[in-house]
């Protein structure tokens, strides 16, 4: 039966979209816990006493145990009053905190504070990241400042799934699967990513296979295919199709719950649910409509997910496959069956990569040049590893069989890790330092969709749109490059217990830092690399704090504690010997570091600075003391520990 197409008038089309936008705004406002009248931040608490419930499985870190809790009650005027609001809590690690479980109800004495914004320019915005998870506050709870009241206060189904996940992970440990192999298989099969080390993440991210380390639509798809085969006998039974539909829906959503309900899993589970229900009703729906319907369905329950990077990448990837896969596949038609199947898979990878590249560059500033080679490795290993992991779980109670199957699984994961590491280590494997802003990302997508419409609809005016937007994009790149060449900056970074100062002239730079920072590549990557990418800086020139330096071309001169950079005079005081001078030395910036044993009054007898900067190597009590002195003496100051990195734009 041929369905009739329904055409909407332009007025009705606009009205529907306005109503949908208004509806989205309303549910987002209602979903935001911070807007609710009973949010704990709007209620005063006696002695910071709260009753909280652990709403996500606790993560054991090196020195603490991290958990997301929901505030239930706060003590106010010696009475317990109901409240709500999520909090990111870090418990001081001991034998008791390591036993914390989902659904535990706790009485805590906690000084709850707002999550800090980024402390360094262009750094990862953890505050914004948590806000999109409805978390706006955090707390650190010391030993003896909490007690467990009861257990089992969570959702029974989620609690069962959480305990089952822990039991399944324990089965892998019992079969001597550990180290990187344990970390990868627990991530691939059960969504447990906290055991993966940074070096392994770097290998997978650089090769373009980072999606393998989290349960994604591919994994849910494999479960779907397996269930379809296993339950195919029900197709021949009376009402068997409905039984099959119900069993598959239950299995898919339980697996999604078991693996932590990540955005990509939610997307796949919702989309497959629409497909399963559609087939049971004998209706073939448009795949793109199913994709959009699943997004609408998910966002109704959690509108904040639209800002989640995983959610965006997942939907864009599938959308790209739907729109581009057929066109790419038709570009090459090999006669060999194996090559044909390999090309079909490659076409899928190309389609997904094309559509996700702009947003990947926006967030991650890098591009995996050998993603096609990575795709072959993923094709060979990912499904096999997943099925091998399931097999180990199924035969775990059978002696010898479980041992042999576990060794085979370890070998497969080891081989996959080595293959991914080999690709990432190839010359020019990753193009890093690519910087585009949101405006440029949108322009690239407009160009891409204009070219798609040109190919599919053969309309010439799309060429004009694509060329016009290309010109605008080129202008944006040119203006940004001009700004980078003209920039002159002096930055004092906020890095705990560390002194790091950067001097930038155009796209060249010099960093003066403690030797411990220079030796630690991870610290540079976490605190400074993103800023270099944003400023168009590709080099890294670092000098120990106690060394002299002279670069007349830069221009930069450092001798002892004194620095001349362009027209700025800077002094660094970490060890103070009182200086007697006939005339005060005029400075643009005076930096106090390393808990210098001096007072502001003593420093001002020798120097006349425009601004005194307390860097992040000082203790908090010391900087507070200097702050009070500076206020009394009416001296301008900047405390890096409280305000974040100091950025001086020089003329």
pLDDT digits (tens, 9 = 90+) for 463-498: 999 999 999 999 999 999 999 999 999 999 999 999
CA–CA distance, 631 with 620 (Å, rounded to integer): 17
CA–CA distance, 574 with 595 (Å, rounded to integer): 7
CA–CA distance, 626 with 422 (Å, rounded to integer): 52
What pLDDT does 577 receive?
A: 62
CA–CA distance, 446 with 440 (Å, rounded to integer): 10
What pLDDT does 409 receive?
A: 92
What pLDDT does 1 receive?
A: 44
By three-state DSSP, how is residue 497 classified?
coil
Q: Determine which of 78-92, 99-113, 294-308, 583-597 has the lowest per-residue pLDDT on average.
A: 294-308
pLDDT digits (tens, 9 = 90+) for 183-208: 888 888 887 777 888 888 888 888 88
CA–CA distance, 487 with 492 (Å, rounded to integer): 16
pLDDT digits (tens, 9 = 90+) for 203-239: 888 888 877 777 666 677 777 777 777 888 887 777 7
Buried/exposed code over 598-627 (b: 16+ C-beta within 10 A; e: otherwise): bebeebbebbebeebbbbbbbeeebbeebb
What pLDDT does 264 receive?
A: 67
What pLDDT does 579 receive?
A: 58
Binned at pLDDT 50, 70 and 90, residue 4 comes out as low
What pLDDT does 629 receive?
A: 95
CB atoms near residue 412 (< 10 Å): 20
| Per-residue tokens: 584 | 């005060």
Q: For residues 219 and 565, which has the higher predicted lDDT (pLDDT)?
A: 565
pLDDT digits (tens, 9 = 90+) for 336-349: 888 888 888 888 88
> Does position 286 have pLDDT exceeding 80, yes or no?
no
What pLDDT does 646 receive?
A: 96
């Amino acid at each position: 039966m041929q369905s009739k197409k329904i055409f909407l008038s332009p007025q009705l089309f606009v009205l529907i979209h306005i109503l949908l936008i208004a509806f989205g705004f309303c549910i987002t406002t209602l979903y935001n816990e911070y807007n609710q009248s009973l949010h704990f931040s709007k209620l005063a608490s006696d002695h910071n006493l709260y009753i909280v419930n652990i709403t996500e499985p606790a993560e054991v870190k090196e020195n603490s145990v991290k958990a997301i809790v929901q505030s239930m009650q706060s003590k106010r005027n010696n009475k317990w009053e109901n409240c709500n609001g999520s909090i990111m809590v870090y418990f001081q690690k001991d034998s008791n905190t390591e036993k914390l479980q989902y659904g535990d109800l706790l009485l805590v004495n906690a000084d709850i504070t707002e999550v800090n914004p980024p402390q360094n320019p262009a750094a990862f915005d953890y505050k914004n990241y948590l806000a999109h998870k409805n978390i706006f506050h955090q707390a650190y709870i010391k030993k003896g400042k909490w007690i467990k009241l009861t257990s089992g206060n969570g959702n029974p189904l989620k609690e069962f799934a959480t305990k089952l996940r822990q039991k399944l992970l324990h089965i892998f440990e019992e079969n001597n699967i550990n180290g990187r192999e344990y970390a990868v298989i627990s991530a691939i099969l059960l969504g447990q990513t906290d055991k993966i080390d940074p070096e392994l993440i770097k290998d997978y991210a650089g090769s373009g296979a980072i999606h393998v380390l989290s349960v994604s639509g591919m994994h849910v798809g494999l479960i779907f295919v397996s269930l379809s085969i296993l339950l195919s006998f029900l197709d021949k039974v009376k009402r068997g199709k409905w039984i099959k539909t119900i069993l598959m829906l239950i299995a898919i959503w339980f697996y999604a719950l078991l693996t932590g309900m990540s955005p990509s899993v939610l997307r796949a589970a919702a989309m497959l649910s629409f497909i399963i229900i559609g087939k049971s009703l004998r209706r073939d729906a448009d795949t793109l409509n199913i994709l959009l319907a699943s997004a609408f369905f998910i966002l109704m329950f959690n509108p904040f997910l639209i800002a989640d990077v995983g959610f965006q990448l997942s939907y864009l990837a599938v959308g790209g496959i739907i729109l581009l896969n057929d066109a790419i596949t038709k570009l090459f038609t090999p006669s060999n069956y194996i090559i044909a199947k390999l090309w079909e898979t490659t076409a899928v990878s190309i389609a997904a990569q094309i559509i996700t590249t702009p947003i990947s560059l926006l967030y991650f500033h890098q591009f995996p040049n050998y993603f096609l080679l990575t795709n072959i490795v993923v094709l060979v290993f990912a499904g096999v590893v997943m099925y091998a992991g399931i097999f180990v779980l199924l035969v775990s109670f059978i002696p010898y069989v479980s041992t042999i199957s576990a060794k085979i699984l370890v070998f497969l994961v080891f081989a996959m890790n080595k293959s991914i590491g080999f690709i990432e280590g190839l010359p020019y494997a990753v193009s890093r330092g690519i910087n585009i802003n949101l405006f440029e990302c949108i322009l690239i997508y407009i160009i891409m969709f204009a070219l798609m419409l040109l190919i599919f609809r053969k309309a010439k005016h799309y060429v004009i749109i694509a060329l016009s937007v290309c010109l605008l994009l080129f202008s944006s790149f040119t203006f940004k490059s001009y700004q980078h060449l003209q920039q002159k900056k002096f930055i004092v970074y906020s890095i705990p217990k560390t002194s790091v100062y950067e001097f930038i002239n155009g796209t060249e730079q010099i960093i003066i830092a403690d030797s411990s920072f220079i030796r630690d590549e991870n610290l540079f990557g976490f605190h400074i690399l993103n800023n270099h990418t944003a400023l168009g800086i590709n080099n890294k020139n670092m000098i120990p704090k106690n060394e002299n330096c002279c670069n007349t071309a830069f221009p930069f001169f450092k001798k002892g504690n004194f620095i001349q950079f362009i027209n700025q005079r800077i002094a660094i005081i970490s060890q103070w010997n009182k200086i007697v001078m006939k005339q005060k030395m005029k400075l643009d910036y005076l930096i106090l570091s390393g808990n210098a044993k001096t007072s502001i009054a003593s420093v001002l007898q020798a120097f006349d600075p425009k601004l005194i900067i307390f860097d992040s190597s000082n203790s908090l009590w010391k900087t507070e003391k200097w702050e009070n002195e500076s206020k009394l003496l009416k001296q301008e100051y900047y405390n890096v520990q409280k305000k974040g990195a100091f950025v001086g734009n020089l003329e």
